[in-house]
Structure 1
Amino acid sequence: MEKSWYLRLSVVVFAAIFGFLSIWPTIHDLGWLSAPEWVRSTFTGRISPGLDIKGGLRLSYEVELDTYIEEQRNRRARDLLYAAGELAGVIDKEQTAQLTDAQRRALDEAIQVDRVGTDRIRMTFKDPSLVDKIDRPFVRETVGELLRIDSRDRASGVVNLSVREDIVEGWRETAVDQARKTIENRIDTLGLREASVIARDSDIIVEIPGADDAAFERIKGIISKTARLDFKIVDSAGASAVFTGEHLEEGVSLQTEQALDGPHGTVVAPYYMASGEGARERLEAIIEQLTLPRERVVSVGEVDGTDGKAWRTYLLVDMAEVTGEDIDDAFVAFDQTAGNRPVVSIRFKTRGARAFDELTARNVNRRMAIVLDDRVYTAPNINERISGGSAQISLGSGPYQQALDEANDIVVVLKAGALPAPLRPANEQIIGPSLGEDAILAGAKGAVAGIALILLFMGVYYMLAGVIANAMVLLNLVLQLAVMSFFEATLTLPGIAALALTVGMAVDTNVLITERIREELRSGKSPRTAVDQGFERAFSSVFDSQITTLIAGVVLFQYGTGPIKGFAVMLMIGIAGSLFTGIFCSRVVFDFIVRRPNLKTLSVG
């Protein structure tokens, strides 16, 4: 044998051994053939059953894109307001981070910024001459190329701006893509390897095979949590102008507290409190009726009331200089000063640590609220500048296990990142396991029966060549499953159908080659010459047929969705395996047979 044959043989042997070892852990999990520990620890990939096979949960969410676009627009509106305030001489650039009440009133009198629709801004100036200064260079310097000037009316002092259409479309695509990636990260953190997340237009579809009802509820809660973490300053001095006692409902009361508020010293700060069932909802209904000063927002937090748990309001500075994007790590810790209660400990990135340091330095003797998804978890006093680059979220005084579970869930969502926009549940389907069992049984029976009939026919009709072809077909099947296992793919019913189809295509490859060898033998050529010319002359036919099918698979993958894409992927993997086993591997076996001394005939049926 030539040296090249031994090299080709080593490739075939390596592929066969590596392929089997890759799928052995999956076979072990099915209870069919026990695998040694070193195999399971080395080859960690598994083939997971899909939702249509195992049953489970299918969730469909709609990304609230308008909310995302409005928030992006509002940030630019704030930037324009401050930049125009500098033009008007009302504020200085260094003061925009924390305006005094007098500066806020002066800014409100000089410039009014209205948010119109989801993507438009109207600026009204007390001094109409400022309209001329709001030109394209000013807008570009302030917010980049995001906004365009629609109209300027010096007589009325009004400038109308809007977000460019291509920017809006880009924001939509970004929001959906970020939501998909964030949900994938959260699911991966939970260890749900077999779950799949698909983005389709503005919808996110999550499929989770298996699990029980309790796990489903936790998964749904973690997926839908926006996880927007903000560190905001509490405006205790301004609370008296907001919480006046109007619009109160039954179960909601006006309370007061002594609070520090920087240069104002200790002030009496009013707030609303509600207790009992539906307390948070009642408070939020009242908040919607409040008239708030510019750059202020009201959030609620859970506290201990006289009759158990209660909810209260906080008046906060709207702009958050430190957010969840500044977090480097989050983990569950235990507060020894509070009886080892679980807390969420946070470490900031370099930029976040610097911003947190500056925020606390400017607001000594004020309260800072830690807000997660519009809920104030804690609002401690800032007694001094905090330069350590870390913070802590306390979780109240409820049951210990409940606080620990909540801490773990918060860590999951903070590590995975915040959703760019809220999710609105669109559909929920629970697929029973009995449906999965029926589907896998029928699909498996069909696939096994089809493969068995093909192998039987090949062995009977083509004899030794058929046996070689059958070995190549099985090797192709092993390699396909090995690729799936390596990428931890999910096997669905369309995937099983693709496996059965590619088995037929692998057989077709071997049939073409075997028939060409038979023709050469009938013309009186020796077995060695017949094999050499049979492979050479069959190659173009085999390659053309496989490439034609590959093109169909690419089209299905490009334009198909969900199961169709899964079918296309398995089809393309099968085509690659068919070419490798049918042309390369079978040639190695035939070369071994025909190069034996004194070989006169070759059994090809």
Structure 2
Amino acid sequence: MEAGLIARVGITAASLLLGLWMLTPTFLPGPQHAELTRVCELAELKDPPEDAAPPQTFTKFLPCKFLVKGLDLQGGVDLTLYVDVDEAVRSTVQREIPTLKRIAADKGVALDDVRRDRREPELLIAPGAGVTLAQVKELVSGRLDRYTYTNTVDEAGKSWLVFRMTDARTDEIRKQAVEQAREVIESRINGTGVKEPSITRKGETGINVQLPGESDMEQAKAAIGTTAQLGFLLVDEEFDQTQADAALPAAKLALGDTDYLDDRLLSEWLQDNGVLHVGQRLYWFYDKDKKPAARTGSVVLKDEVLLTGDDVSTARTEQDHQTGNYYVALDFKPHGSAIFSEVTGNNIGKRIAIVLDDHVSSAPTVQSKINGVASITVGGNTQEATFNEASNLSLVLRTGALPAPVTVGEVRTIGPQLGDKAIKQGTLASAIGCVLVFLFAGIYYRVSGLLADLSLALNGLLVLALLVGFGATLTLPGICGIALTIGMAVDANIIIFERIREELRGGKSARTAIETGFDRASVAVIDSNLCTGLAGVVLYSYGTGPLKGFGVTLLIGIITTLFTGVFVSRTLMEWAFGSRNTANVSI
């Protein structure tokens, strides 16, 4: 046997052994599979528990890689979220108010007040005495060049200069909001430890989330859909709360039951009817143990956010040793810590409200100056409930707030029974197709066909091994892609075998016919697979869900088909017939 052929046989054997090694963890029996999973999870921990049982010996020789099944195979949660992009625009306008006030103070331009229009992406600026429109325009254009002056309105005894955000800027914010929301959701899901989630854009404002293996829909929505916009605001101690309470029946009658439950619309109605003034807003406490959450009390806050979630360095779950309940402890960044210390020092005896997603979490009275630490209490009927809520809240605060509120649209839960059924049906269909292909090759091409069957079996093995190696997810369309891969590999062998037959009919020896057949037919095989690969790239790049899963296995299948169809098949053919100088080849 020639040295080159020996090397090719060695490469073929090595690829077979490598594929078996990669797939062994996936197909281990139950107890061994559980042990390897435990060892792999311990290896990922920075501080594994000291009392953990030592790993069994066999785990040292196997990789910590498993074949990951997709949502359609193992069940899970599939939900679509929609981002409120208009609120993202309004929030951007609100965040620019402190910046404008600071710049105005630095440049000596007196402004009586700056606020945001409730419905439009507009800044309303009340200039101070002696300040001209030209000065305000220069101030805005120097820092907020994406705003243009539109008109002047008289309201609440003041003249307000209206600066509207440009359409180009609002479109940019809308697009960024959806992409930022997708990134935040992805970070949160990664923090929960879900294996192989799928987070993709859906339309202009939608985000599709698939969580294989998850079954708790409510916990998934709590971790993913919580906006986590945190704010610290001062309670307006001078406002008579009974005035707001007395106006609520009239507000309910005017707004109707649905709009009355919208906190923002209710607060705006109170402003429009003179109950609240500019710079005040009504917020509510909620009992989240009730489904849906119910209002339990209201408080009027000064509508100026002192600190936000961006000022938080980290959030962690802690337990109150006196009550046993859990809460979220916040550590501020240096800048945020300085602001919090100053605010608490200047407001001793007053209340500071901690607002999360426009709901008041708590409004404690400041007893003394606080340096850099705050806490958020959470509700729950049991310790387990408070722990779960505190854990979810600390997770979303660590990963950052969503740029805008999201609403849950379509929700779908796929049970494991459906996944098992899909696996059985898909596997059965693929197995029947492969058996028919193997029989055809063996009957029609005889010994050469049996050699082709060996390369086809190696092809399927390598497809699964590469899925494991790349960390790709096997889906039901992916199983169909594997069946298609086997068909493509057979097609490659047919092209090559027919070419070898032509060479044999021309009177060439077995060795020469095999070499010539593979050399001339391989060009056509490679060309056809590369063209199919372009389709796979398009499916993977632009497809979502099933199309993406099909594209993954198709691309991997093309790689393995070229390897087994051209390299492995040639190695087996030359090993079986290459030493003969006759024209007799079983083909």
TM-score band by shorter chain is 0.7 to 0.9
Contact 2:510 2:585 in 1 (8 A): no
Q: 1:545 aligns with which of 528, 531, 535?
A: 528
Q: Which residue of 1 aligns with 2:223?
A: 222
Contact 1:300 1:312 in 2 (8 A): yes
Contact 1:55–1:431, Cα closer than 8 Å, also in 2:
yes
Relative to 1, partners in 2 of residues 1:86 and 1:29: Cα closer, same or farther, differing over 3 Å?
farther
**What residue identity is the alignment partner of 2:481?**
A
CA distance in 2, matches of 1:406, 1:116: 32
> Deviation at 1:294?
4.1
User: Are 1:582 and 2:577 an aligned pair?
Assistant: no
User: Residue 99 of structure 2 corresponds to which residue in structure 1?
Assistant: 79
Change (3 A) 1:486 1:118: farther
Q: Deviations over 1:305-359 (max 9, x none)?
A: xxxx9833344343434332343433222223x3443222233445544554555
* 1:510 aligned partner: 493
Match of 2:64 among 25, 33, 44: 44
Is 2:431 the counterpart of 1:448? Answer: yes
1:534 lines up with 2:514 in the alignment: no
Distance in structure 2 (CA, Å) of the matches to 1:358 and 1:591 = 83
**What do you get for the CA RMSD once the two structures are aligned?**
3.9
Is 1:22 aligned with 2:7? no
Matches within 5 A, 1:393-408: 393-395=376-378, 399-408=382-391
Amino acid paired to 1:458 = A
Identical counterparts, % of pairs: 32
Matched AA of 1:566: G
Q: For residue 65 of structure 1, report the CA deviation from its aligned partner.
A: 1.0
Q: Contact 2:110–2:128 (CA<8 Å) still a contact in 1?
A: no
Pairs within 5 Å for 1:9-158:
9-28=9-28, 38=58, 42-80=62-100, 83-84=103-104, 89-90=109-110, 107-108=112-113, 113=115, 115=117, 117-123=119-125, 125=127, 130-135=132-137, 138-143=139-144, 145=145, 147-151=146-150
Partner of 1:205: 208
Q: CA deviation at 1:302?
A: 5.6
Deviation at residue 469 of structure 1 after TM alignment: 1.9
Partner of 2:188: 186
1:140-195 per-residue CA deviation (whole Å, 9 max, x = no partner) reads 4323x4x1425477999775433333332332222212222222333333333254
Which range moved further: 26-35 or 201-210?
Answer: 26-35
Q: Is 2:270 aligned against 1:290?
A: yes
Summarize the Cα distance change of 1:315–1:160 in structure 2 as closer, same or farther, 3 Å threshold: closer
The gaps in structure 1 that reach 5 residues or longer are: 92-106, 253-277
One-letter code of the match for 1:217? Answer: E
> In the superposition, relative to structure 1, how do residues 364 and 472 fare at CA in structure 2: closer, same or farther (>3 Å)?
farther
Distance in 2 separating the partners of 1:120 and 1:588: 73
Corresponding residue SS for 1:25 = coil
Out of 465, 480, 497, the residue aligned to residue 482 of structure 1 is 465
Q: What are the superposed Cα offsets for residues 212-263 of structure 1, whole Å, 9 maximum, x if unpaired?
A: 4xx2222223222112222x1423433337855431459x9xxxxxxxxxxx
State how far apart, in whole Å, the 2-side matches of 1:566 and 1:25 are.
22
Instruction: After TM superposition, list the pairs within 5 Å mapping 1:425-436 onto structure 2.
Output: 425-431=408-414, 435-436=418-419
CA, structure 1 residues 405+513, in 2 after alignment: closer, same or farther (shift >3 Å)? same
Q: Which amino acid aligns with 1:149?
A: T
Aligned to 2:297: 312
1:68 deviation in Å? 1.0
Structure 1 residues 512 and 31, CA, compared in 2 at 3 Å: closer, same or farther?
Answer: farther
SS in 1 for 2:19: helix
Alignment of 1:263-282 (within 5 A): none
SS in 1 for 2:187: helix
Q: Secondary structure at the match of 1:58?
A: strand
Residues of 2 paired with 1:64 and 1:42: CA distance?
A: 47
Give 3-state SS (helix, strand or coil) of 1:198's partner.
strand
Change beyond 3 A, Cα 1:42–1:324: farther
> What is the aligned partner in structure 1 of residue 235 from structure 2?
235
Q: From 420, 433, 445, give the equivalent of 2:403.
A: 420
Opposite residue 305 of structure 2, the aligned amino acid is: A
CA distance in 2 between counterparts of 1:430 and 1:480 reads 29
TM-score of the superposition, structure 1-length normalised?
Answer: 0.78
CA contact (8 A) 2:125 2:160 kept: yes
Question: TM-score, normalised to structure 2's length?
Answer: 0.80
Does 568-577 or 124-133 show the bigger shift? 124-133
What is the rounded CA distance, in whole Å, between the counterparts of 1:281 and 1:153 in structure 2?
33
Work out whether residues 104 and 139 of structure 2, in 8 Å CA contact, stay in contact via their aligned partners in 1. no
Q: 1:41 to 1:162 in 2, by over 3 A?
A: farther
Range with bigger deviation, 183-192 or 34-43: 34-43
- Corresponding residue for residue 308 of structure 2: 323
Q: Does 1:457 align with 2:437?
A: no
Larger displacement relative to structure 2 (121-130 or 503-512):
121-130
| Structure 2: stretches of 5+ with no match in the other structure | 37-55, 253-257, 289-293
CA distance in 2, matches of 1:525, 1:35: 58
Residue 164 of structure 1: aligned partner: 166
C-alpha separation in 1, matches of 2:14 and 2:314: 42
| Counterpart among 320, 331, 334 of residue 335 in structure 1 | 320
Query: What number of residue pairs does the alignment pair up?
Result: 547
Structure 1 contact 227–417 (Cα < 8 Å) conserved:
yes
- Report the secondary structure of 2:172's partner residue: helix
Give how far 1:76 is off.
2.6
